[in-house]
Structure 1
């Protein structure tokens, strides 16, 4: 018995000492290391903002020289190379700013609180795994949406099942919006419109959830389901293409590991004439579909409510019409901007190649 008590006392003494060491080490890590991290990152952010202002000033000076014109081709070429490097530096500074301890925006604050940090602390593999989980979640949910909408459109006519489906869509878009805000502050290439698109989609589905089973709801239901089916099929096609393109772009250094394989019409990146011919018609048809849904709702509510027996027009008719119209316009504008930028880049590359070919010809003549 005495030996056992002696052993207990010895073990207790060692455990108490080790416990104090662990607690002391943890307190030091929390109070000192994280405080140092906060002040260091604040300092880096200030320096990054100052550097961006200087770089933008350099770009403005270079552009003023380009506008003035010069016969010195070597000088122009040198300035263009500097301008490209400066723009690359600015993008790097934007990534650094995103990866500091930000909250993830108002949307994340609304659900996780103002003091939460949306930056994924740890090595890069943690961020990369979070991005992969996001892509997998979005792709799987989009694929599953296809048979769901087919069943509801052709075989199931139940308001209760419709409600479950709409709750599923609310969960889907809400989860996407939260994860996209977190990805954005961790250096991802997600555009602001993409996230706003999902905010609007949440509101659209909520209006469907609150819509009573009236004649207007029953008339609009097949249009909504048919659009959801079409949009899911197009998003799957776009995801497949974008994933392949992202793999290639990451391999050649044009994209970073946190860039995501986009599947939204507003985010399409056309890299070849084949993709232009194949993808864009589907994308624009989807946007026309959105406009048509908005037109039908406004037509029923404003011009022909009598065709529904003179019943009161629910507010959901106008809300859904307006939301579909905003989504269509936003998608069209953003897609057009992406295409215009692509055309300008191709044109600029051709001009640069022509200028280099001309300079080499002149050197041969000399």
Structure 2
């Protein structure tokens, strides 16, 4: 038999043995997947039963307790809170039903990542996506404002903004399902921004658009610059706080200001407040344009309303965090 054919037969035997090993490994893998699925269902059912019983116990403690056993009741209530927090940590690694928004966008696809490494990798990729896209938006806004005055390029910028904010809402919903604690106004902020960018995209090229164009591009340029600053400094602050054990590992950078940013990031507050009042200025400018006799585009009034909503949400949320932090700082010396 020729030497070449012998080598081929030997190699085929080796590959055949390897293939049988692969089949066995895959069989074990499917078996483990089935076991994991049963364990997940068992854990979810147990957590549901425990939550229901803890709720009933909490009601009994509040209705049937007397002054004599108040100390024991308070201890039980503290343990109930600790247990509920532990359940939340467990559920971060168990499949759960998608919320309304994810159900509409993705259907019933399970988006829960089952390992800490996968969660951290997805969160880091989200932060890189935000930073890279913000840099691209910064450069594109700079080109449109200083060098090029074409409606087509403006449309590309607005389309990129729509895609960016829509993608953020989906990614943040997935991150929330996996334990990230972004909530409140900063979630709704991206929906409003996506809608605003979509309205700007449909605004026809006319006199009113040309009047507002440079103002919007300057605002977009400034907003992208501030977001780059925030991404850079907030990520460093979050890393330090996670190392000290003061923040959750799945916490994210946000466009606004939160209480954990107080140390080392207060220099961002003037930039943020200036951007908030610029949003107010944009809204008022658009409302004045809507009163002009030749204003026939519905986009003028709608953009003005969106800018006003953004200003009110951003300004009052940042102001609330600022006042809360000052109040806690004033109370801490008294407690000492």
TM-score (norm 2): 0.81
Aligned residues: 335
How far apart, CA to CA, are the structure 1 residues paired with 2:219 and 2:16?
A: 65
Counterpart in the other structure of 1:43: 42
Tell me, yes or no, if structure 1 residue 327 matches structure 2 residue 314.
no
Tell me, yes or no, if structure 1 residue 94 matches structure 2 residue 106.
no
Whether contact under 8 Å (1:269, 1:338) holds in the other structure is no
Counterpart in the other structure of 2:246: 254
> Unpaired segments of 5 or more residues in structure 1?
355-366
How far apart, CA to CA, are the structure 2 residues paired with 1:341 and 1:62?
A: 31
Change (3 A) 1:228 1:95: farther
How far apart, CA to CA, are the structure 2 residues paired with 1:343 and 1:54?
A: 39
How far apart, CA to CA, are the structure 2 residues paired with 1:52 and 1:348?
A: 35
Which stretch has the larger CA shift, 7-16 or 331-340?
7-16
Tell me, yes or no, if structure 1 residue 212 matches structure 2 residue 201.
no
Counterpart in the other structure of 2:190: 198
How far apart, CA to CA, are the structure 2 residues paired with 1:336 and 1:69?
A: 41
Counterpart in the other structure of 2:146: 154
> Unpaired segments of 5 or more residues in structure 2?
none
Cα deviation, 1:226-248, whole Å, max 9, x if unaligned, reads: 22122222223333332232122
TM-score (norm 1): 0.75
Whether contact under 8 Å (1:98, 1:184) holds in the other structure is no
Counterpart in the other structure of 1:177: 169
Q: CA deviation at 1:53?
A: 5.6
Whether contact under 8 Å (1:265, 1:335) holds in the other structure is yes
Whether contact under 8 Å (1:294, 1:325) holds in the other structure is yes
Tell me, yes or no, if structure 1 residue 271 matches structure 2 residue 266.
no
How far apart, CA to CA, are the structure 1 residues paired with 2:82 and 2:323?
A: 20
Tell me, yes or no, if structure 1 residue 117 matches structure 2 residue 106.
no
Cα deviation, 1:239-271, whole Å, max 9, x if unaligned, reads: 3332232122211212132222x2411546343
Q: Helix, strand or coil: the match of 1:194?
A: helix
Whether contact under 8 Å (2:141, 2:220) holds in the other structure is yes
Identify which of 284, 287, 297 aligns with 2:273: 284
Residue pairs, 1:54-65, within 5 angstroms: none
Cα deviation, 1:206-232, whole Å, max 9, x if unaligned, reads: 111111101121122122212212222
